[in-house]
Amino acid sequence: MKRQVQLLLVFVCFYYAGCLPTNAILTPEYKSKKISGKNLTIIRLFDDPVIDNSDDVIDDLGSGEPIEVYLSYFDKTFTSTLDNSNCFNKIYFTNNISQTKLEKRELDIGSNEKMKILLPTESSSVEGNSIKSEYLLFIDKLKVYRKAGSSGTMFGTMRTGGSFPSLNHQIYFALWDNIKGKIISYGHVEDESVVIFAMTKSNWESAIQELTKKILKYSPFVNPYLAQ
């Protein structure tokens, strides 16, 4: 019986992993659309993510300057996850875009929350050597931190109510229709990758992959092989 309870607690832990608050909006015009086979360019607006657990970066992702090590891994994992979704024809990536083509926009994402992000002006498109897509994904203000676990409460020989440590990610995004010159969706998504024994590279991979999947949930992009 004790063994069954322990297994149940681990299952609950996995079930709730990643279930953090997400504030994101898919604009009404795109809620009924199903788009596939187009090109997407990821535009990373930040060069200095907030990483509170830089020691973990070096331990798990390799030696070097923590932000550089992390960004190299983030760019590759984020891009490959979107590519593997099969929602797009091609995925491009850039962190080198002229900000003179963009303006700071303030968007409501909840009753008490706003976000500021650089975007093209309304009804305009972004073109250039690094932009070859009908759709753009702007990402900004990435925050990474490690959350400590709690010991819980003992009831006889059984511990309940505790939690495992976790690796947490939060990022702001906006999807842009580069043909019509308008916002598709925007907001912020978060993920919590539970650390059962020790943090490893797989925790970082899982967290970044989940961010991309949550962004896709607030989009009209679909895998044509799975779309009904």
16-217 classified as CATH 3.40.50: yes
Instruction: List, for residues 108-165, the tens digit of each pLDDT value.
Output: 987 788 999 999 998 898 887 667 799 999 999 999 999 886 544 444 555 455 567 8
Indicate the DSSP class of residue 23. Answer: E
Question: What is the pLDDT, as a whole number, of residue 91?
Answer: 96
Report whether 176 contacts 214 (CB < 8 A). no
151 to 4, 154, 162: CA distances (angstroms): 19, 9, 5
Portion of the chain with pLDDT greater than 70, in percent: 82
> What integer is the mean pLDDT of 97-118?
88
> What integer is the mean pLDDT of 199-206?
92
DSSP 156-192: TTEEES-B--EEEEEEEEEEEETTTTEEEEEEEEEEE
Mean pLDDT of the chain: 85
> What integer is the mean pLDDT of 84-89?
96
Question: At 113, which helix (H) or strand (E)?
Answer: strand 113-119
* 193 pLDDT tier (thresholds 50, 70, 90): confident
Report the alpha-carbon distance of residue 19 to residue 193 in Å, rounded: 10
Question: What is the pLDDT, as a whole number, of residue 19?
Answer: 47
The pTM is what? 0.84
Q: Where are the domains of the chain?
A: 16-217
**Nearest C-alpha neighbor of 139 from the set 173, 106, 107:** 173
> What integer is the mean pLDDT of 8-36?
69
Report whether 109 contacts 187 (CB < 8 A). yes
pLDDT: is 130 or 102 the higher one? 102
104 to 32, 94, 154: CA distances (angstroms): 28, 19, 51
